[in-house]
């Protein structure tokens, strides 16, 4: 969710499409390439293209030797995180296998180099700061009544209540949301863990207090006049609503700007802070992990463990029972 990557051109897209056809060593027809391109999520395609471009700008070539890739890792050990280096290896592995070459990333010299980097640098990843319920309410209190405020209020509340990823939040269309007696029934057509579009439904209930996600969304749609297509769209300084969908980066900017305006250090807040905030706040409230997963769509408790662990730091705390 925190990548800031340049979008590929159509020529680059077709190049990667052909490259990602397993066992294809010659160009494939454009019609075939279109389907191959769709075998990868858009963000994955963009990430792979940027990773390969970075490797080649450093001086690497495909096919590459294991020693060259090990040198590449070492050359960037001080400027790239272990997580980023892992993704670079995944991209290099993919393109080598696609072209029918041996996979140099699986050779011991590369694996040993990466293990050494992990021991030296550690593997802890920078995590988005959760926007927990209490801080979310502080942020909402600091907002005004202009059209952008109305949109941002709906964006924050829906993003938090649904535990949505940025891509899921900005991907919502008007016909994906149905008002029912209990609140909103939201259909996610596609998500990071559902690339084949099986879809899943999420319930967003009416709020019990002042900040109701259902009411906030209704206010935004009424004020903006949006009745079809993308729900969340850009709003300029003249309160004009744009025709296109809000970008993932736009969600990140909204979160950071609104947190800062409320007097909270924006620090590591990002678009992922809404999703992390729901999971952490729910854990603090004693909600079971499987019910949290039902809302967020996490594949397993293992993916939720850091939120639950952070949310329960002070629940039945051993030191609290003594001091």
Q: What percent of the chain is predicted at pLDDT more than 90?
A: 54
Range of weakest confidence among 10-19, 25-34, 144-153, 291-300: 10-19
192 falls in which pLDDT band (50, 70, 90)? Answer: low
Burial of 246 (0-12, 13-18, 19+ CB in 10 A): buried
Token pair, residue 222, equals 């009424």
The arithmetic mean of pLDDT across residues 207-224, rounded, is 95
pLDDT of res. 265: 93
Tell me: pLDDT of 289 over 80.
yes
Tell me: pLDDT of 61 over 70.
yes
Q: Check: CB of residue 279 under 8 Å from CB of residue 288.
A: no
Which residues are the active-site residues?
Answer: 165, 192, 272, 275, 298, 307
Main-chain dihedrals φ then ψ at residue 198, nearest 5 degrees: -65, -35
Q: Check: CB of residue 155 under 8 Å from CB of residue 169.
A: yes
Main-chain dihedrals φ then ψ at residue 248, nearest 5 degrees: -60, -40
The arithmetic mean of pLDDT across residues 221-244, rounded, is 94
pLDDT of res. 81: 85
DSSP letters for 54-120:
HHHHHT--SS--HHHHHHHHHHTTTTS-HHHHHHHHHHHHHHHHHTT---GGGSHHHHHHHHHHHHH
Tell me: pLDDT of 299 over 80.
no
Apex CA 65: angle with CA 61 and CA 71, to 5°?
85
pLDDT of res. 74: 93
CA pseudo-torsion sign 160, 166, 168, 174: positive
Sheet order of strands, 177-180 included = 177-180, 183-188, 200-205
What 3-state class would DSSP assign to 127? coil
pLDDT of res. 214: 97
- Average pLDDT over all residues of the chain: 84
Main-chain dihedrals φ then ψ at residue 247, nearest 5 degrees: -85, 165
Closest-CA residue to 307 (of 47, 70, 129, 81): 129
pLDDT of res. 24: 36
């Amino acid at each position: 969710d925190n990548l800031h990557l340049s979008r590929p051109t159509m020529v680059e897209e077709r190049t990667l499409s052909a490259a990602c056809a397993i066992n294809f060593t010659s160009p494939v027809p454009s019609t075939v390439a279109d389907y191959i391109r769709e075998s990868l999520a858009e963000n994955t395609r963009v990430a792979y293209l940027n990773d390969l471009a970075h490797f080649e700008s450093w001086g690497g070539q495909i096919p590459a030797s294991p020693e060259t890739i090990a040198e590449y890792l070492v050359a960037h050990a001080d400027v790239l995180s272990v997580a980023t280096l892992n993704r670079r290896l995944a991209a290099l592995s993919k393109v080598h296998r696609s072209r029918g070459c041996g996979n140099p990333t699986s050779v011991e010299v590369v694996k040993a180099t990466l293990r050494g980097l992990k021991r030296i640098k550690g593997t802890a990843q920078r995590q988005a700061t959760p926007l927990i319920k209490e801080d979310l309410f502080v942020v909402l209190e600091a907002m005004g009544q202009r059209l952008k405020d109305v949109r941002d209020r709906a964006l924050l509340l829906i993003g938090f209540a649904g535990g949505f990823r940025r891509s899921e939040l900005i991907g919502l269309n008007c016909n994906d949301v149905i008002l029912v007696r209990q609140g909103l029934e939201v259909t996610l057509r596609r998500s990071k863990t559902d690339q084949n579009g099986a879809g899943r439904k999420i319930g967003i209930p009416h709020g019990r207090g002042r900040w109701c996600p259902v009411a906030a969304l209704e206010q935004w749609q009424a004020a903006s006049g949006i009745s079809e297509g993308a729900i969340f769209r850009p709003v300029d300084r003249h309160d004009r609503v744009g025709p296109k969908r809000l970008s993932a980066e736009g969600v990140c900017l909204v979160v950071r700007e609104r947190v800062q305006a409320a007097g909270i250090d924006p620090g590591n807040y990002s678009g992922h802070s809404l999703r992390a905030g729901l999971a952490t706040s729910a854990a603090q409230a004693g909600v079971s992990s499987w019910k949290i997963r039902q809302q967020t769509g996490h594949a397993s408790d293992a993916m939720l463990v850091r939120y639950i662990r952070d949310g329960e730091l002070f629940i039945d705390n051993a030191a609290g029972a003594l001091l």
